[in-house]
């Protein structure tokens, strides 16, 4: 079955870099897009960026200067790196999958359980 699982540190120092890994199973990351999203406490969801099935990336302009997304197809992993973290970057980070349909990009049909990240000294 399709699964995604995020992993990474729960605590990051201000100004440091956040590194997260999304490990997927049940589908190939060379066939589907994998996205990163963030949810600050008590707030809505924020799309950060995506790894396309062909290896290209797209980013939300809000994060473009400090975010990079990469992948390792042999390990079915997609990576997020975001630098210059501040306290407002505290939140839960999710990876999720979507598929392309005739009508366009579909919604996120599978999500990871999320990883809670706190930015604090």
In this chain, which of 3, 8, 46, 57 binds another protein, going by CB under 8 A? Answer: 46
Looking at beta carbons only, is 44 or 121 nearer to another protein? 44
Residue 31 contacts another protein per CB under 8 A: no
Place of tokens 């997927």: 24
Q: What is the DSSP letter of 35?
A: E
58 sits near another protein (criterion: CB under 8 A): yes
Q: Is the distance from CB of 2 to CB of 9 less than 8 angstroms?
A: no
Tell me if 65 contacts another protein by CB under 8 A. no
The answer to whether residue 40 forms part of the interface with another protein (CB under 8 A) is no
Q: How far is the CB of 43 from another protein (least distance, A)?
A: 8
Report if residue 90 touches another protein, rule: CB under 8 A: no
Minimal distance, residue 118 CB to another protein, in Å: 16
72 vs 105 by CB, closer to another protein:
105
Backbone angles phi, psi at 89, to 5 degrees: -85, 0
Angle at 94 between CA 109 and CA 91, to 5 degrees: 140
Q: What contacts 24+ positions apart, CB below 8 Å, involve 49-57?
A: 49/80, 51/78, 53/29, 54/30
Q: How far is the CB of 58 from another protein (least distance, A)?
A: 6
């Amino acid at each position: 079955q399709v699964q995604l699982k995020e992993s990474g540190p729960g605590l990051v120092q201000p100004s440091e870099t956040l590194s997260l890994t999304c490990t997927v199973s049940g589908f190939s990351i060379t066939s589907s897009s994998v996205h990163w999203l963030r949810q600050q406490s008590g707030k809505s969801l924020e799309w950060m960026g995506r790894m396309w099935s062909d290896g290209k990336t797209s980013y939300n302009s809000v994060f473009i200067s400090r975010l990079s997304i990469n992948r390792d197809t042999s390990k079915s992993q997609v990576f997020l790196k975001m630098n210059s973290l501040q306290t407002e970057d505290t939140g839960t980070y999710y990876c999720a999958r979507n598929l392309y349909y005739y009508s366009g990009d579909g919604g996120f049909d599978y999500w990871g359980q999320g990883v809670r990240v706190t930015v604090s000294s």
